[in-house]
Amino acid sequence: MALPILYSYRRCPYAMRARMALWAAQVQFEVREVSLRDKPAHLLQISPKGTVPVLQLPDDTVLEQSLDIMQWALAQHDPQGWLHADREAVNHFISINDGDFKKALDRYKYPERYPEQQQLFYRQQGEQFLQALETVLQQHRFLLSDSASVADVAIFPFIRQFAAVDAEWFAGSAYPQLRAWLNGWLESALFVQIMRKFPTYIEST
Ligand SMILES: N[C@@H](CCC(=O)N[C@@H](CS)C(=O)NCC(=O)O)C(=O)O
């Protein structure tokens, strides 16, 4: 039987969240690791916007947003109950992450592309979100409660990127609960699994 096909990029945080959900759901799928500079024609044909992740189901349905892929995967099987969370609270955190925080992250990571401000300015913008997460993590182990939810899984890959821009700064920053939470995800068997390396997919012509 044909498997779902995931076009992915190992280091992309959107692709990471999609792979986390697919693995957690124990869905079998084919990973096609792409080069962002040389995207496969089939990917562009099924999803002309040209971002990853994209999941093509055996019935040819195409899911071209990471959150839709997570939702689809966990609707198949959700052994850890990641969807058992208040939808509104989940959306609240993810929308800040994917909006203002991602914007600050891009600028903090590549300040040379955004010379209007200093790198520190962009870091401080991102820290508003770090502080909000730190505050909720002082109250419970995960973002919404003592159980992990889709919000944690969707967000930690972006915090990982932010932390990695200046690992020394992050290690000494005022966000100890956030660091512990992030480390928990980075050390999880699931994360190790989804970060396995695949050779770049070569399309047969
Ligand atoms: N809203 C999309 C965003 C995906 C996205 O922006 N992915 C980046 C890689 S992290 C990408 O494919 N960019 C296109 C490119 O670099 O050519 C989603 O949630 O899946």
Nearest protein CA to atom 13 of ligand 1, as residue: 51
Whether 104 shows a pLDDT value over 80: the answer reads yes
Q: Please tell me the distance between residue 196's alpha carbon and the centre of ligand 1 in angstroms.
A: 20
pLDDT by residue (tens digit) across 183-199? Answer: 999 999 999 999 999 99
pLDDT given for residue 204 in this prediction = 84
The tens digit of pLDDT for each residue in 116-152 reads: 999 999 999 999 999 999 999 999 999 999 999 999 9
Q: Going from the N-terminus, what domains does the chain have, and what CATH number goes with each?
A: 5-80+190-194 (3.40.30.10), 87-189 (1.20.1050.10)
Give residues with Cβ within 8 angstroms of 134, minimum separation 6: 174, 175, 176, 177, 178
Q: What is the pTM of this model?
A: 0.98
CA of 185 relative to ligand 1 center, distance in Å: 22
CA separation for the pair 154, 173 (Å, rounded) = 22
Q: Is 157 in the pocket of ligand 1 (CB under 6 A)?
A: no
Residue 1 vs residue 172, higher pLDDT: 172
